[in-house]
């Protein structure tokens, strides 16, 4: 079966997830493993080179999840490839990823902030920590204003800025949202759209997005079309 083209629409953020290979997972088992800070250094340095604005990220032994806005359809694929090459050289191994990355385009004002929360709760879902702020290899601490967790290259999404009028308000409100987590239905919907590589939003958003997207943004109706 032919590979499905990448879903892209100019000006929209994407939530992407890529699984690590078994050999890479073994190298990342230790929380203080050297590849973690190296990956963050590469992400901060390479994202601008590939015209990607990073809004959030989380790296665990199993996978890497990023919320970012690419300037071109080739921006995110080239960034992930560059990260893979650097990590492979660091670990002196073959392929560091277990296949291609998955992606979804979440609707601004409705699904971007939940997608960011879903991303930063990734280490909690993997039972690595009990709360998102306890995991050092994600953007959670930066968004909640935890000490010593500032990354100058992280570009907060406009939906994050709506959490409050001042930095303190935004951080406090976002910390509360992150602590509360997502309804199970929202969690499942994000996971389903990400794995299926479909857009995430209401009917009006889907219709508008379809006008500029590189391919179909949601699954077609199953079965044969009805006879007229």
Geometric angle at alpha carbon 136, from 150 and 153, rounded to 5°: 30
Q: Note whether residue 4 is domain-resident.
A: no
Answer for the pair 28, 35: CB distance below 8 angstroms, yes or no.
yes
Model pLDDT for residues 93-114, shown as the tens digit of each residue: 778 999 999 999 999 999 999 9
Range of the domain at 156: 14-210
Q: Note whether residue 158 is domain-resident.
A: yes
Q: Note whether residue 222 is domain-resident.
A: no
Q: Note whether residue 153 is domain-resident.
A: yes
Q: Distances in Å between the alpha carbon of 108 and those of 28, 149, 162, 206?
A: 33, 26, 11, 12
Q: What is the CATH number of the domain that holds 27?
A: 3.30.70.1290
* Spatial CA neighbour of 141 closest among 159, 162, 123: 123
Question: Total structural domains in the chain?
Answer: 1
The stretch 22-38 carries a mean pLDDT of: 82
Q: Note whether residue 6 is domain-resident.
A: no
Is the pLDDT assigned to residue 130 strictly greater than 50? yes
Transcribe the chain into DSSP letters.
-PPPPPP--TT--EEEEEEBPHHHHHHT-STT-THHHHHHHHHHHHHHHTTEEEEEEEE-SSEEEEEEEESSTTHHHHHHHHHHHHHHHHHT-S--BSS--EEE-BPTTTTHHHHHHHHHTHHHHTTS-SSGGG-SSBSHHHHHT-TT---TT----HHHHTT-SSHHHHHHHHHHHHHH---HHHHHHHHHHHHHT--BS-HHHHHHHHTTSSS-SSPPPPSPPPP-
Answer for the pair 42, 86: CB distance below 8 angstroms, yes or no.
yes
pLDDT given for residue 160 in this prediction: 98
Q: Note whether residue 118 is domain-resident.
A: yes
Model pLDDT for residues 134-166, shown as the tens digit of each residue: 999 999 999 999 887 778 899 999 999 999 999
Q: Note whether residue 121 is domain-resident.
A: yes
Is the pLDDT assigned to residue 223 strictly greater than 50? no
Q: Note whether residue 220 is domain-resident.
A: no
């Amino acid at each position: 079966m032919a590979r499905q083209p990448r879903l892209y629409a100019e000006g929209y953020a994407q939530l992407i997830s890529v699984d690590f290979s078994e050999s890479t997972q073994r190298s990342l088992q230790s929380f203080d493993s050297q590849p973690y800070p190296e990956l963050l250094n590469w992400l901060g340095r390479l994202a601008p080179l590939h015209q990607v604005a990073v809004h959030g990220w989380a790296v665990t032994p199993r996978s890497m999840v990023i919320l970012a806005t690419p300037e071109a359809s080739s921006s995110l694929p080239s960034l992930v490839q560059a990260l893979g090459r650097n990590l492979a050289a660091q670990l002196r191994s073959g392929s560091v990823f277990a296949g291609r990355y998955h992606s979804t385009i979440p609707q601004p004002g409705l699904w971007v902030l939940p997608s960011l929360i879903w991303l930063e709760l990734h280490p909690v879902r993997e039972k690595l920590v009990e709360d998102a702020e306890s995991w050092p290899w994600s953007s959670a601490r930066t968004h909640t204003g935890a000490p010593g967790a500032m990354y100058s290259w992280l570009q907060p999404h406009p939906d994050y800025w709506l959490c409050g009028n001042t930095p303190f308000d935004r951080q406090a409100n976002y910390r509360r949202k992150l602590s509360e987590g997502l309804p199970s239905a929202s969690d499942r919907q994000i996971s389903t759209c990400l794995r299926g590589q479909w857009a995430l939003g209401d009917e009006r958003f889907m219709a508008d997005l379809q006008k500029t997207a590189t391919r179909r943004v949601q699954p077609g109706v199953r079965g044969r079309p009805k006879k007229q």
